[in-house]
Copies of this chain bind each other. A is one copy, B any other.
Amino acid sequence: MNKRQVVPHRPIYPTPAGLITSVDAAGRPNILTLGEVFNISISRPVILGIAIRKERYSHQLISETREYVVNLPTQEIAQQVWYCGSVSGRTVDKFAGSGLTPVPAQRVRPPLIAECPVNLECKLLGVQEIGDHDLFLGEAVAQHVDEDVLDETGRIAVGKLRAFAFVNGEFWTLGQKMPRI
């Protein structure tokens, strides 16, 4: 073992990319690409964290409307994930620009993204300034899962998710399930 000390920068990997939908006061939807979404409270209740820079348009929208949806993407829409992270919803309609399909949610105003197999409707609990990002904490009040990725017991079959991970600035597919020895 020969270790080198480096300057840390977004050091944790592999992390879950997410597409975060929100709406403005008139109901116009936006999409934010994030390189990570956090499972913080995992069951009672489920509380998801997302870290957003103050200058992002979605920071303003979610602060005002206090609702968002976390949509987990597949490899098939990786290009749209990059696109939604490269333009601002202040000037672009990202649903139109990406071709992604909005679907009405059940308990919040922001839409689900049809192409994402997992969608979590969240109601904002609070926002905290933590270093260079603000941490938004939201309770997941509803989860939707594509029937296509569920197994016969109703559990998510990971191999069907076509998921990918964000790793050191790159997207990587998942490989194989590791045996639990």
Residues of A within 8 A of B (CB): 1-16, 18, 35-49, 51, 70, 72, 75, 78-79, 82, 103, 106, 112, 114, 118-120, 130-133, 135, 137, 140, 142-148, 150, 154-156, 158, 161, 163-165, 167-168, 170-178, 180-181
Contacts and interface: CB of A to CB of B under 8 A. Distances in A.
A158 B150 CA distance: 30
A177 B166 CA distance: 10
Quick one: copies of this chain in the complex?
A: 2
A-side interface mostly: strand
- Which are the 5 A-B pairs with shortest beta-carbon distances? A41-B131, A175-B175, A173-B175, A10-B42, A8-B143
B171 A177 contact: yes
A177 B172 contact: yes
Contacts of A82: 180-181
